[in-house]
Structure formats: structure tokens, C-alpha cells
Structure 1
Amino acid sequence: MGAEDNKGYQPWWAIDKAAWRERFSPFYRLVGITENRTAPLKPWTDRDVEEFIKSEPVHGPRLKLVRQGAQVAAVGALAGGLTSAGVAIRYSKNYVGAVLAFVGGSAVGWAVAEEGANYALGLYKFDCLETNLKFLDWWQAKTEG
């Protein structure tokens, strides 16, 4: 009883390797689709994305929401960066500070807008990476046959 229960010290990452493998499997799939190739995937257009949205009943609408969320986050980053840089220029007249304020404001604006889009569009209800991987699988099958 004593020898079996005392497994010794285990670091936090070695506690449940199966759970870690399952959680990071989408990243391994992404690397398998994009990196381990002789030729890169052909670029896709908005028309191709719309075709996927129409052809895939589950992941199509999800991909549309993910793309909308990315657009909201990009606008939020731009708005946050310009606002904070404008305030820095107005009150300090320091251009280096304005550049740093733009970078910081962009990061904060992106994070706030992404979380807002996550909540407003319901992106928290599904795995966005899995949706993007489904699109990449579909695109690979379509272009390479």
C-alpha cells in the first residue's frame, strides 16, 4: 500500500500526458497541414471561404463568425492604438511615447475587442481553432484532390 501510493514528485506537465496530447493535438494537425509539405497550400480568396461556408453545415457558419470576430478585433486594435497615440501626442508631444502608446493601445484594444466579439458572437461556445482546421482540411482536399 505504501509503495504503490507514493509515486514521488512529478512536475505539473507530467501529471496527465494524455490530456496534454489531446489539448495540443490541433496544433500538431496545423503543423502537419502547413509545415510538413513540399509545396505550400495555394492561397484562398473570399469566394473560396464563402463556398466552404455554404458547403459545410456545421463549421461553415462557425467560420463566418470567427472571421467576423477577427475583423472586430482588428478594428478594435486600430481604434485603441490611434486613440492612445492621439492622447500621447496631444498631451506630451513626444513621438517615441506616441509610438509606444500606439503599440500598447493596439494590444489593449485588440484584447478588449476580441473578448467583446467572443461574447457577442458566441465564439466561446465552440473551438475556433478546430473550425479553422476544418477549413484548411477542406481547402487542402479541394486544391490537391
Structure 2
Amino acid sequence: MSTHRPAARVVCLDAGNRVLLLHWSDPVGGNLVWEPPGGGVDDGESFLDAARRELAEETGLDPAAVQDRSVTVERDFRWRGKHYTGTEEFFLARFDEPGPALGRAGLMPDEQEALLGHAWLTPDELTDLPDLQPPHLAEIIRLLTTT
């Protein structure tokens, strides 16, 4: 049985056009995931507001950097023993410095344990990255930066 959870993610690009990915370890299944920051939309919250809130919580980066434009992405993944399917909104954020430092202060205790680290990667580095979610992230980045 699958679950759909409205969610928003943020494709963060630094001054060198490298993308920020968070590296997670699923506390239930143990599988590893590299993905852009983001998460579920709270009741009464817009996708844009959720993207900005999640960016601040998961990275400490300035939520005002999230632009009001998105791409709808089909997702199909497992996390914490649940199967999630459905669409998520992916937003773009740009930062003027190379690899801005992240903070973890906004993470919940279980997220603190599950987050292994992060990386700022070039689009070419995405092609060889195991456990990338969504697997076609390079195409999503292209859509966000050319539309």
C-alpha cells in the first residue's frame, strides 16, 4: 500500500552551479538516500511556504532564496517503512557564494540521527551518485533553470 504526502523540495544551486544534496540513512530500512532538502506540506501551508520552511529547518540557509517557481515531479520511494508515491513540487534557490555552510539547529531529533551529511555536487557528479532521489534530478535542475 502506498501513501501520498504533499511535499516540497528545494534545488539549491551555489555560485558554481553545484547542487546541494542531503545524505540520509533510513532509520527503519537502513537504505541510504541523497536528495534535495524538503519535506511535507503542513495543513494550510502553500507549497512555496513549505519549501522555504523545510530549507530553513534542514539546512539553516536563507529561506528567502527560494524562488516562486516550481516543477511538479512524480515520486516513488520508501522511507521509515512506508511507500510514498505521488507528486512533489521542486523549487529553485540560488546562492551567491560557493557551498554555503549549513546548520542543523532546525532538525528534529530523529532527523539529526538520520542525516549523515551533505554535499555540493556538479551536475556531472549526479550521474554516478548511488541512491540519488529522484534519479532524474539533473533533468529537474535543467527544467528549473531554463523555464
TM normalised by structure 2 equals: 0.22
- Higher share of residues assigned helix: 1
Higher relative contact order (CA 8 A, sep 6+): 2
- Higher share of residues assigned strand: 2
